[in-house]
Amino acid sequence: MERMKKIYELLEPIGSGSFSQVWKGKHKATGQLVAIKQLERTLDIDHTGRGARGLPSSTLREVTILNILTKEVTPYIVRLFYFHKFTKPSEDSGKEHMFLVMEYISSDLRKYISLHREPDEGLSQSITFGNIKIIMYQICKGIEILHGKGVVHRDLKPANILLNPQNLMVKFADFGFSREITFPTKAHYSPGVMTLFYKAPELLLGADEYSFPVDMWSIGCIFGELVTLNPIFSRNTPVEQLRLMCSVLGPPNEDTWPGVTKLRNFEKCCDTPLTPGWSKCFRALGEDGIDLLMVSGVYF
């Protein structure tokens, strides 16, 4: 950290996780604002007195994916300027640190939606359709770039989409759950990814073979939330979430989703009755808007 402080002024903490902390920083020589992500790995001392160095897999994935994505300037993806390799561990904490220096963007889509849901004086409560179009266009272009480079994000949600509130520029961030997809495009991965409100039905049903469509489901959920200002599928448990989805879209079957009856959680949703009229909540979007929403919210 002392080395970093010689190059950057740390202005304020702006986020934290289990193995990381994010700071707003400023390059002392140029004045450029940056986001500095401090990642740590612990030196666990074994019975021989030697340290076993461990690093969370999410950290390895994020560094790898950002290196792939930012070899050239890529619109709609947060830029990784460079990273500092691990510093020597401090004697008191026994921890080494890596620092990722990234593009700084002042807000995110979660905060933007929250401001409209609980507006201050002078701020319209709803997000205008014009602004929704601007945001969704960028999200769709961003996912096109991401998938075109063979990467599935696996944790798209408003908090992981950075947003400049002045010009509504958006960029994907937080690639700790991301994976490079190998061929064939469906491979065996953990279903234990994604935040519940934005989690694709194949993951809730227990599938360990999936691909790019899990991101498309999340984008549909984000689209709906921009319109309603609330998550469109919001339950407390995976089973409740799955049954809510099935009540809106109807339970999947072998005609609409070959192989679905073999997934381990299928029996938990197969008898869910359909609740008609869900699309009425989005009537103001018009035919094209509803079509985009429904294309994202289908069984893949």
Annotated binding site: 37
Residues 269 and 123 placed together within one structural domain of the fold = yes
Domain boundary among 82, 103, 124: 103
Instruction: Give the CATH number, domain containing residue 12.
Output: 3.30.200.20
Catalytic residue among 44, 92, 108, 155: 155
**What confidence tens digit (pLDDT) does each residue in 126-150 have?**
899 999 999 999 999 999 999 999 9
Shared domain for 152 and 253, answered yes or no, is: yes
Mean pLDDT is lowest, of 52-61, 84-93, 96-105, for 84-93
Residues 137 and 86 in one domain: no
| Active site (annotated) includes residue 271 | no
Domain that residue 166 falls in: 107-296
Residue 209 belongs to domain with CATH number: 1.10.510.10
Domain boundary at 88, 103, 118, which? Answer: 103
Least confident of 30-39, 133-142, 224-233, 243-252: 243-252
Residues 134 and 35 occupy one common structural domain: no
Judge if 21 and 120 occupy the same domain: no
Are 48 and 122 in a shared domain? no
Annotated binding site for ATP: 37
Q: What is the pLDDT of residue 268?
A: 82
Q: Do 16 and 165 fall into the same domain?
A: no
How large is the average pLDDT for residues 202-222? 90
Q: Is the pLDDT of residue 248 over 50?
A: yes
* Domains of the chain: total: 2
Angle at 146 between CA 157 and CA 236, to 5 degrees: 20
Write down the pTM of the prediction: 0.84
Let me know: does 210 contact 190? Beta carbons within 8 Å.
no
Q: Domain check: are 85 and 152 in the same one?
A: no
CB 142 within 8 A of CB 74: no
Q: 27-80 pLDDT, tens per residue?
A: 999 999 999 988 776 554 444 444 445 566 777 788 888 888 877 778 899 998
**Same domain as 264, residue 159:** yes
